[in-house]
Amino acid sequence: MCGIVGYIGKEKNALRILLNGLKSLEYRGYDSSGIAYFDNDKIITIKEKGKIEELEKILDYSIKSNIGIAHTRWATCGDANKTNAHPHSCGKITIVHNGIIENYNELKNQLQKNNKKFISETDSEIIAILINKYYEEYQDIIMAINKTKEIIKGSYAIAILCEDIKDKIFAIRKDSPLIIAKSKNAAFIASDVPAILNYTNKYIILNENEIAILTNQNITVLNDKLQQIKKKLLTFKGNITDAQKGNFKHFMLKEIFEEKDVIKRIIKKYNTVEKLNNKLNFLDKYNSITIIGCGSAYHVGIIAKYLIEEYANIPVNVEIASEFRYKKNFFDKKNLAIFISQSGETADTLASLREVKKEKIDTLGVINVPESSIAREADNIIYTEAGPEIAVATTKAFTAQLIIMILITLYLGYKNKTFTKDFLNSTLTNIDNLEEEINNILNKSYKEIASKIAQAKNIFFLGRNIDYGIALEGSLKLKEISYIHSEAYPAGELKHGTISLIEKNMPVISIITKEHIFDKTISNIKETKARGSFNIVISNKQVIDADINILVPDVNPILQPILVIIILQLISYETANLKGCDIDKPRNLAKSVTVE
Ligand code: G6P
């Protein structure tokens, strides 16, 4: 949710470096972008509405500058236009901001009473105004930043330039991610690691209340008492090709094709009973589980609920983080709260984690991004190890989360003696062997189905039990990237009102993989067919009522969701591709939602 980059180095190619950094962070928002750099003694700001390529068109790369900050925006406060685009300036100060300043209205009113003029509708402009005000007052930039930090409320990652100081960039953060990195001849600020990977894989994470000062020689970090502190240098373990498209047309397709490797990578660490025990025995003490997440991560929670309850006999409650954090919750000490998040930075999931921790309930993060906020704050952490996921619509991270939840199910089921060691061992082997089945799915074409769906205005996804959880994710994937309205329903629930929406030729995509409810879902499919729907059925047995029947390999039922979801991801991809949508950067979305 908004991407920030900063560069200060010996080389005078700041514009190129900042723009390339922005491109690698475009998944964080892309409705406008901007850049500010020193041209001799002056800070020059250039911004443009639309995707980063619009900014690129108007930049003059012959300009030699060795310092600058840049921003790609996902509008929260104020329309997506050029005036509201970052950077924002006031007097000597220019800033870029990711997050939300919650008390900006109050602060704005006070400042307006003193005749302060605001140019934009954003909350962010207040930061430039306040820092400038205190800079004029104290004549000391650190004091000015510190004072501003004490006044503003909300979430922020901020990079700051001061026109009087042309050899330094300053940065602060709270509840929004920000890393600071160093190469031999330069220092960088970025919202996420991909922006720095071309230059270095060494970085530090700035904590709340710290101030970072970057020069082309070094990085200094001050604590809340403005004393210099030492920070742990982290090394990013992936490599740059993880964050590149390679020969694929879109990141999303590349990431779907990576899913089998991700599964292999994970299962290697858990493929024997001993390894499973060693990694997961901290789960022994809990009688119930609450799973909390947003978007696709929430859908993993729904699927996991069906799995854990059926196979491990433990009650599971699943909550949408933005609801959970503001409602009354009931806990006991034998409940484990699991937070699922790709980014580890989703504002509502992070806030929910903090709420739970206040109650002294144990927490587990199932997280993809190492050292992210949730990864650092949860009591236990399981990394999903999907590698950097660039496409906004999640695919490989979703599958990785699902595999981890399946492993948790297996561990708990085995401990609770709901199944035998033989079943456990064979399921672990089955996971290891999923590659072949996935390859078969990847080698098939989904273009014909896509052509049926692409013309539709509305689509239903149906399923019962686990298949309903998968339907939820299939539906979200389709609407995210193809802009076709779709809804997922528990198959038996459709007739309680929603069936009135079925029209002639409306596609209904049903998932049926559970033996004991196979016929029940077939009955529901018949109900829609009788009203003229076009039925696409994904099932592990032939369904004669289907207009198109995709047969999914009949594997171990615990693993069935993995295969079905890959098919649904491919269908969504092909549909969006056919419609010519911007698949990796769908309109209005951002990958990492760090505001509530
Ligand atoms: C955004 C993304 C979704 C994602 C959700 C939760 O809405 O577009 O794809 O599922 O955030 O993100 P997280 O990083 O917490 O998994």
Placement of tokens 């109050």 in the chain? 106
pLDDT of residue 240: 65
pLDDT of residue 15: 95
Is 328:335 a contact under the CB 8 Å cutoff?
Answer: no
- Kindly indicate the confidence band of residue 497, based on its pLDDT and cuts at 50, 70 and 90: confident
Eight-state DSSP code of residue 206: P
Query: CA of 203: how far to CAs of 158, 196, 213, 413, 430, in Å?
Result: 17, 9, 14, 40, 38
Domain 442-596 grouped into CATH 3.40.50.10490: yes
111 C-alpha to ligand 1 centroid (Å): 36
C-alpha 404/C-alpha 390 separation (Å) is 21
Tens digits of residue pLDDT in 257-312:
999 999 999 999 999 999 999 999 999 999 999 999 999 999 999 999 999 999 99
Nearest CA, atom 3, ligand 1: 295
Ligand 1, residues 26, 343, 390, 595: which to mutate, most atoms within 8 A of Cβ?
Answer: 343
Residue 40 has pLDDT above 90, yes or no: no
C-alpha 164/C-alpha 183 separation (Å) is 25
Over the chain, what is the mean pLDDT?
94
Tens digits of residue pLDDT in 433-452:
999 999 999 999 999 999 99
Query: CA of 229: how far to CAs of 70, 140, 207, 235, 494, in Å?
Result: 27, 20, 11, 19, 59
Nearest CA, atom 5, ligand 1: 295
- Kindly indicate the confidence band of residue 24, based on its pLDDT and cuts at 50, 70 and 90: confident
Cα–chain center distance at 388: 10
Judge if 3-243 and 442-596 fold alike in CATH terms.
no
Is 68:36 a contact under the CB 8 Å cutoff?
Answer: yes
What average pLDDT does this structure show over 113-132? 92
Nearest CA, atom 15, ligand 1: 341
CATH level 2 (architecture), domain 246-432:
3-Layer(aba) Sandwich (3.40)
C-alpha 469/C-alpha 375 separation (Å) is 25
The token pair that represents 196 in the structure block? 């720095």
**Residue ranges per structural domain of the chain:** 3-243, 246-432, 442-596
51 C-alpha to ligand 1 centroid (Å): 21
What is the reported pTM? 0.84
Tabulate helix, strand, coil % of the chain (nearest 5): 40, 25, 35
Active-site residues, by number, are 2, 591
End-to-end Cα distance, the chain:
11
CATH level 2 (architecture), domain 3-243:
4-Layer Sandwich (3.60)
Tens digits of residue pLDDT in 215-260:
999 999 999 999 999 998 888 876 666 777 888 999 999 999 999 9
Query: CA of 560: how far to CAs of 177, 307, 438, 563, in Å?
Result: 35, 11, 11, 6
Cα–chain center distance at 285: 30
pLDDT of residue 153: 95
407-427 as b/e, with b when 16 or more CB fall inside 10 Å? bbbbbbbbbeeeeeeebbeeb
Tens digits of residue pLDDT in 169-218:
999 999 888 999 999 999 999 998 888 888 998 999 898 889 999 999 99
Axis-axis angle for helices 560-578, 466-482 (nearest 10): 20
C-alpha 532/C-alpha 1 separation (Å) is 42
pLDDT of residue 566: 98
465-484 as b/e, with b when 16 or more CB fall inside 10 Å? bbbbbbbbbbbbbbbbbbeb
525 C-alpha to ligand 1 centroid (Å): 31
Axis-axis angle for helices 295-312, 466-482 (nearest 10): 170
Residue 104: which of 141, 70, 148 has the closest Cα?
148
Tens digits of residue pLDDT in 61-109:
889 999 999 999 988 888 889 999 999 999 999 999 999 999 999 999 9
C-alpha 366/C-alpha 279 separation (Å) is 13
pLDDT of residue 115: 82
Residue 480 has pLDDT above 70, yes or no: yes
Is 371:205 a contact under the CB 8 Å cutoff?
Answer: yes
Residue 112 has pLDDT above 80, yes or no: yes
The token pair that represents 432 in the structure block? 């290891």
Pocket of ligand 1 (CB under 6 A): 294-297, 341-343, 346, 349, 392-394, 589, 591-593
Ligand 1, residues 1, 342, 477: which to mutate, most atoms within 8 A of Cβ?
Answer: 342
